[in-house]
Amino acid sequence: MSLVSIRSVAAAGLVLAGTMTVVSSAQAQQGSASGEVRRIDAEAGKITLKHGSIEALQLPAMTLVYLIQMDQLAGIEPGDKVKFTAERRNDQYVIIKISK
């Protein structure tokens, strides 16, 4: 194998390793918890949840406003006990899954 080929293979390996790191990092930014719905602002696409700590997101127990897609709000009302998965996106918290 020539020196150029070896360098190309090494460079490709570094690119793949960097890609894997980004994927792992994104996965580490998700967390699940149980909580209570306090408020829903469907027009703004926001839900306020009171929940326990979410270690994966480094969040202590608190009441926090999350972004949520309108179709995820079907059947969800203030006062409901829910289980949810959220992720951090650009310094905002987004519900990616929610159920009663």
Asked whether residue 25 is assigned to any structural domain, the reply reads: no
Asked whether residue 65 is assigned to any structural domain, the reply reads: yes
Asked whether residue 60 is assigned to any structural domain, the reply reads: yes
DSSP 61: S
17-27 average pLDDT score:
45
Structural domain that includes position 35: 30-99
| The pLDDT of residue 23 | 44
Q: Please, are residues 79 and 37 in contact by the beta-carbon 8 Å criterion?
A: yes
Name the residue with higher pLDDT: 25 or 45.
Answer: 45
Instruction: Tell me the pTM.
Output: 0.72
Name the residue with higher pLDDT: 15 or 40.
Answer: 40
Torsion angle (degrees, nearest 10) of CA 40, 43, 45, 51: -10
Asked whether residue 11 is assigned to any structural domain, the reply reads: no
Asked whether residue 35 is assigned to any structural domain, the reply reads: yes
| The pLDDT of residue 2 | 56
Asked whether residue 69 is assigned to any structural domain, the reply reads: yes
CATH number of the domain that residue 44 is part of: 2.40.50.320
53-72 average pLDDT score:
97
Count of structural domains, the chain: 1
Distance (Å, whole) CA 51 – CA 60? 9
